[in-house]
Amino acid sequence: MSTGRAEPVGVTAGRLVLATRNAGKVAELRRILADASVPVEIVGLEEFPEIGDVAETGLTFAENALLKAHAVARESGLPAIADDSGLCVDALNGMPGIFSARWSGGHGDDEANLRLLLAQVSGVPPEHRGAHFACAAVLALPSGKEWVAEGVLHGMIIDTPRGVNGFGYDPIFVPEGEGRTTAELSAEEKNAISHRGRAFRALVPVIAEVLG
Ligand code: ITT
């Protein structure tokens, strides 16, 4: 979906910043673009130590991804991609949602977040254990032009954590049609079906057109 506001100016062909310090995300986007034969160089935020954290003050994944992508495109002078994602649990009215990373209080305490969520859904019967991971990914140009893509992975929450791969809520999330948790899938298996993989792949045609 294009929600462009202005014509691109000053785009440096072939170089793109992914607005994260998570090396796994950088590797995932690199692999997706390589698979699609799009010749774009992806750099992470560790190459831009002067760019500080962007406050995620939006109320939706897309609003937060837009805030990050525009701030990083503006400050780096390069096209930027940002994503925001989280777990939405049916029995919790879609929470933790945009609060997934800080559900138990501190930002990024995966173990505490997972334990709190398990306590909140304890006693919820299997038929009401539905949940989905959601991701919004945004490509923004320094000119202000922007594109938003979204991806979802449906599944259910189990009671006992299983698996050591991935991060966050992966040990308690079983995707639809799978017997394993996303923490029991290989990185390749997870990326092929994940919310983030889907959102990133939806941006590939735009990246190819604007930068390839
Ligand atoms: P950035 O630095 O790139 O912002 P992050 O880890 O803080 O990365 P995300 O937006 O990717 O933020 O995810 C927010 C939280 O949602 C994350 O801390 C997890 O708790 C949860 N989450 C998102 N994607 C997940 C996934 O694929 N597997 C498990 N948990 C996930």
Q: Tell me the pLDDT tens digit for each residue of 65-112.
A: 999 999 999 999 999 999 999 999 999 999 999 999 999 998 889 999
pLDDT over threshold 50, residue 38: yes
Q: Average of pLDDT values for 138-167?
A: 97
Q: Residue 13 — pLDDT band, cuts 50, 70, 90?
A: low
Report percent pLDDT > 70 for the chain. Answer: 94
Q: Tell me which H or E stretch contains 18.
A: strand 15-18
The reply to whether ligand 1 has any atom less than 6 angstroms from the CB of 194 is yes
| Alpha-carbon span 43 to 141, nearest angstrom | 15
pLDDT at 6 (0 to 100): 38
pLDDT over threshold 80, residue 8: no
Mean residue pLDDT across the chain: 92
| Alpha-carbon span 211 to 13, nearest angstrom | 5
pLDDT at 147 (0 to 100): 98
Encoded amino acid at 67, one letter: L
Indicate the length of the chain as a whole number: 212
The reply to whether ligand 1 has any atom less than 6 angstroms from the CB of 86 is yes
Which atom of ligand 1 lies closest to the CA of 170? 29
Q: Are strands 41-44 and 15-18 parallel, antiparallel or unpaired?
A: parallel
Burial of 31 (0-12, 13-18, 19+ CB in 10 A): middle
pLDDT at 123 (0 to 100): 95
| Alpha-carbon span 119 to 159, nearest angstrom | 9
Structural contact between residues 16 and 207, judged by C-beta atoms closer than 8 angstroms:
yes
170 is a catalytic site residue: no
Q: Average of pLDDT values for 33-38?
A: 90
Record the pTM.
Answer: 0.91
